[in-house]
Amino acid sequence: MTRRTTAALACLALAAGLTACSSDEPSGPERISITPVKDGATSGLNPLGDGTRATVAGYTMDAVRLPGATATGEVSFRILDRSGTPLTDYTPEQTKLLHLYVVRDDLAQFRHVHPELGSDGTWRGRVDLGVPGRWRVVAEFIPEGAERPVVLGTTLRVAGAWKPEPVPEGDAAGTSDDGVVQVGLLGAGEVGTNGRLRVAITSTDGEPLALGSYLGATAHLTGFAVGTRGFVHVHPLGAPEVTDDGTVLTFHTTFEQPGPYRMFVQVRVDGMLHQVAVTATVNSHA
């Protein structure tokens, strides 16, 4: 029995209590337990690849398709192994067999998609781009039996006139909100395999917020290096802390290069998923 099959059976067995197995958007109160990554765990190990190449470690992202910019449509692709055979067996990471990130090349637009795997090895999901431009399609997954995630990526042009937007930078870019949830970075990141990045989550008037679970954790944070577009996905360590700064999350980071990173923070508050983008500074070793 493959890990993919085992994961599916586990979701069926726990369906009455773990609503996140079947949907990212719960229809009622959250029941899924949150299991934060513990200090020293291997979950934050550097992946193979940074999303800038379609082929890494013998795996290739193939037959990538995006919808147009005017309506919700289908994104599809396959992951091929060294022999050119579609990969069909995966190990779940943060409750999913594969995470797909569709981000415009100027880092002004970001979509986090969880497509479904077909029997022929083709992944298909729904995505609403809304605007034209050059879009990067980045897949993160763990092949069954592998010790580290693999990250593949390619870039497609979605027809239509567009003008790249500058990435917000500077001290003010470290805090932003979506009108309900405010995200603020508490200090800079640092290059290294065992770094820490602290993030405060509050209401727009600065009050701490109670966080629900998203993909089995208290938050999901995806980042892209400004300029090189290198991808990072970091994990929360331990439980949130309520401090004078708000509800503070500490993330385990594995930054390989210094510079600014556009970070997309996703949290669930009162059952609703919120996404806020901030720009983090990552420094070299002291």
Please enumerate in sequence order all residues whose Cβ is within 8 A of that of 70, keeping only pairs 6 or more positions apart, or say none: none
Class of domain 171-283: mainly beta
CATH number (2.60.40.1940, 1.10.150.120, 2.60.40.1180, 3.10.150.10) of 39-158 reads: 2.60.40.1940
Three-class DSSP category at 7: helix
pLDDT of 45 reads: 61
Token digits of residue 118: 């077909």
Token digits of residue 67: 């919808």
pLDDT of 256 reads: 87
Q: DSSP secondary-structure letter at 21? A: G
Question: Domain coordinates of the chain in residue numbers?
Answer: 39-158, 171-283
What is the model's pTM? 0.83
Digits of tens for pLDDT over the chain (286 positions)? 444 433 333 332 322 222 233 335 433 333 222 333 333 333 456 789 999 999 999 999 999 999 999 889 999 999 999 999 999 999 999 899 999 999 999 999 999 999 999 999 999 999 999 999 999 999 999 999 999 999 999 999 999 999 999 999 998 999 999 999 999 999 999 998 889 999 999 999 999 999 999 999 999 999 999 988 899 998 899 999 999 999 999 999 989 889 999 999 999 999 999 999 999 999 997 5
Residues 201, 239 contacting (CB under 8 angstroms): no
Closest CA to 158 of 244, 82, 271, 65: 65
